[in-house]
Amino acid sequence: MEKQTTLETYGFQPLFANQPNPDSHDIGRIALEHKHLYRIYAEDGEWLGELSGKSRFAAIRREDYPAVGDWVWMTKLPGERKAVIHRIFERKSKFSRQIAGTTTEEQIVATNVDRVFLIMALNLDFNVRRLERYLLMAYESGAAPEIVLTKKDLCDDVEARLREVEAISLGLPVYTVNSLAEDGVETLAATLRPGETIALLGSSGAGKSTLLNSLYGEQRQKTGGVREGDDRGKHTTTHRELVVLPDGAIIIDTPGMRELQLWEGSDSLGAAFHDVEELAAECRYSDCRHEQEPGCAVRAALEDGTLGRERYASYVKLQKELAYNERKIDAGAARAEKERWKKIHKQLRGNPKR
């Protein structure tokens, strides 16, 4: 007997059910996005959706458009598997980064995620400082981060690298796996729950798609081998996609990120670096810059080795980067508001009687 599909199959939760639907539109979840066309999962199967003209006109910023993981209100067109998207549900969580390059623009990676698996390979691509960036991004999103270290068969000293990760993860769950041999995957799979949404985030070739295949139980996603010369995996996933596992858990696989420019995160810096900020709270002066001030607990910890110098340098670097981004984002918001009023004035000129 075929299992009945419900909205809960795709992760519908009370937060979404409690949001008003005055126009009695149909409900679906964005599973795949391609140039403003969207594959949508609904109770009665898959639909191809696009934004209504009104919604497209009102959209100014990237967050105004649907992203993979979003729940949407839509109207199904009779006689075809197409739908018109009217509105996006209020989001539970949102992963964003700044688009690579010099443009100050948000790129939404995934939305409405319960947990996020931060994937990092244990081979030559291993980088604790990059992992700190991912942790900051995860804390800012509102989802619960967990760390998955892959390709442990390619690492000569797994325990040493595990200690490095535990030193900066500060109590978060950390798993080590070899997805190809399904070594350690069963421990990870035992934590999955039906209707729960998990995003896989990591750099290109970290093993996200191989892990997804292992959790799914078959070759769901294309995977690549290891490049010669630098021991890095080949980038294979080219788009974000929502996948329902046979056990009912929902995975959002994402393309790898060679460059991770933070979008926001100042409010979550303390969560990712609470060891540093707890030390700073013990300084004699509340405005201590941790340089030459007497009674500086941070400098004392650096000198006695309690706080690693590389970790503190990473904290300072991210702090400066976030401050710089905040200034750019404020300027970008002002430009977006100006663009919004230009649209309104253009519409009024086209409809003088309104």
Binding site for Zn(2+): what residues are annotated? 283, 288, 290, 296
Binding-site annotation: residue ranges for GTP: 150-153, 202-210
Judged on CB neighbours under 10 Å (0-12, 13-18, 19+), 4 is: exposed
Residues 6+ apart with CB under 8 A from 12: 6, 27, 29, 71, 195
Interatomic CA distance for residues 41 and 39, integer angstroms? 7
Binding-site annotation: residue ranges: 150-153, 202-210, 283, 288, 290, 296
Convert 278-334 into a string of H (helix), E (strand) and C (coil). HHHCCCCCCCCCCCCCCCCHHHHHHHHCCCCHHHHHHHHHHHHHHHHHHHHHHHHHH
Q: Record the tokens describing residue 10, joined without a space.
A: 């795709």
> What ranges in the chain are assigned the alpha helix state H?
14-17, 53-58, 128-141, 158-169, 185-189, 208-216, 269-272, 274-280, 297-304, 309-350
Judged on CB neighbours under 10 Å (0-12, 13-18, 19+), 168 is: buried
Buried b (16+ CB within 10 A) or exposed e, 36-51: eebbbbbeeeebebbb
